[in-house]
Amino acid sequence: MCCSARRCNQEMNWEQFDLNPKVVAALKKALQLYQDHLTSQHQKLSLGCSVLDNLLKGGIPLEGITELAGESSAGKTQISLQLCLCVQYPYKYGGLESGAVYICTEDIFPSKRLQQLIEQQRKMRTDVPAEIIQKIKFGNSIFVEHAADLDTFHNCITKRISLLLTRGMVRLVIIDSLAALFRCEFGASDSVTKARYLQTFGAQLHSLSTRFRTPILCINQVTDAVSELEAAQGSCSVADNKAYPALGITWANQLLMRLMVSRVPQPERSPGAASHHSGSVHYVREIATSAFPQSYLFKGAAAISMWKRAAG
Amino acid sequence: MQRDVGSLPLAPALRARLIAAGFQTAQELLETGPCGLSKEIGISKEEALEALQVVRQECHGGAAGTAGGSGATRKCTALELLEEEQAQGFIITFCSALDNILGGGVQLTKITEICGAPGVGKTQLCMQLAVDVQIPECFGGVAGEAVFIDTEGSFMVERVADIAAACVQHCQLIAEAHQEEDHLKALEMFSLESILSHIYYFRCRDYIELLAQVYLLPDFLSEHSKVRLVVVDGIAFPFRHDFEDLSLRTRLLNGLAQQLIIIANDHKSAVVLTNQMTTRIGQSQSTLVPALGESWGHAATVRLIFHWDNSQRAGLWRMILEAQKNEDNPSRNSWQRYTNHRVRRSQPYHITLHLMASEMCSLQLSLRM
CB neighbours of residue B287 within 10 Å? 13
ipTM for the whole complex = 0.72
Residues 154-213 of B with CB under 8 A from A: 154-161, 165, 192-193, 196-205, 212-213
Cβ pair A30:B285 closer than 8 A? no
User: Cβ-count burial of B58 within 10 angstroms (0-12 exposed, 13-18 middle, 19+ buried)?
Assistant: middle
Instruction: Check CB contact of B129 with chain A, cutoff 8 Å.
Output: no
B262 in A contact zone (CB under 8 Å): no
Q: Which residue of A has its CA nearest to B216?
A: A23
Q: Which of B118, B157, B314 sits opposite A255 (nearest CB)?
A: B118
CB contacts of B305 in chain A (<8 Å) are none
Alpha carbon of A132: minimum distance to chain B alpha carbons (Å): 31
Poorest-confidence range of B41-50, B176-185, B352-361?
A: B352-361
B260 and B299 Cβ atoms separated by less than 8 Å: yes
Across the interface, whether the CB atoms of B118 and A17 are under 8 A apart is answered no
The yes-or-no verdict on residue A76 having pLDDT over 50 is yes
Q: Which among B154, B315, B343 is the nearest to A256, CB-wise?
A: B154
B96 to chain A, closest Cα gap in Å: 18
ω into A191 cis (within 30 of 0): no
- Let me know: does A254 contact B118? Beta carbons within 8 Å: no
Task: Write out pLDDT tens, residues A130-185.
Answer: 888 888 888 889 999 999 888 899 999 999 999 999 998 999 999 988 888 888 77
Residue B67 pLDDT: 43
Mutate to test the interface with A, among B147, B197, B276, B338 (most CBs of A within 10 A): B197
The reported pLDDT for the residue numbered A234 is 56
d(CA B330, CA A66): 42
CB-closest option in A20, A196, A294 to B317: A294
Q: Judge contact between B228 and B148, C-beta under 8 A.
A: no
- Is the C-alpha dihedral spanning A290, A292, A298, A302 positive or negative? negative
| Coil, strand or helix at B323 | strand
- Residue to substitute from A290, A294, A296, A298, interface B, most B β-carbons within 10 A: A290
Q: At what angle do helices B45-64 and B26-41 cross, to 10 degrees?
A: 170
Q: With beta carbons less than 8 A apart as the criterion, state whether A256 and B118 touch.
A: no
Looking at residue B74, its pLDDT comes to 73
Task: Write A84-87 long-range contacts (CB < 8 A, 24+).
Answer: A84/A114, A84/A138, A84/A142, A84/A172, A84/A174, A85/A48, A85/A117, A85/A118, A85/A121, A85/A138, A86/A45, A86/A46, A86/A47, A86/A48, A87/A45, A87/A171, A87/A172
The count of CB pairs under 8 A between chains A and B is 171
Name the β-bridge partners of A262: A283
**pTM summary value:** 0.71
Residues in chain B: 369
pLDDT at A14 over 60: no
Cβ–Cβ below 8 Å for B314 and A287? no
Q: For residue range A203-261, list pLDDT tens digits in order.
A: 999 999 988 989 999 998 888 755 544 455 555 444 445 667 888 888 888 888 888 88
Kindly report the nearest CA distance between residue A284 and chain B, in angstroms: 13
Reduced to 3 states, what is the DSSP secondary structure of residue A84?
helix
Distance from CA of B337 to the nearest CA of A (A): 16
Nearest CA in chain A to B286: A229
What is the Cα Rg of chain A in Å?
21
With contact defined as beta carbons under 8 Å apart, do B37 and B52 qualify?
yes
Instruction: With beta carbons under 8 A apart, name residues in chain B contacting A289.
Output: 119, 154, 156
Is the Cβ pair A22, B212 closer than 8 Å? yes
Residue-level pLDDT at A186 = 75
The model's pLDDT over B154-198, given as tens digits with 9 standing for 90+, comes to 888 888 888 999 989 888 888 888 888 888 888 888 888 999 999
**Are B159 and A37 in contact, with CB atoms under 8 Å apart?**
no
Indicate if the pLDDT at residue A11 is higher than 80: no
| Cα A123 from Cα A121, distance rounded (Å) | 5
pLDDT at B214: 93
**Nearest beta carbon to residue A249 from set B279, B315, B341:** B279
pLDDT of A296 higher than 50: no
pLDDT class for B75, splitting at 50, 70, 90? Answer: confident
In angstroms, the separation between the Cα of residue B67 and the nearest Cα of chain A is: 39
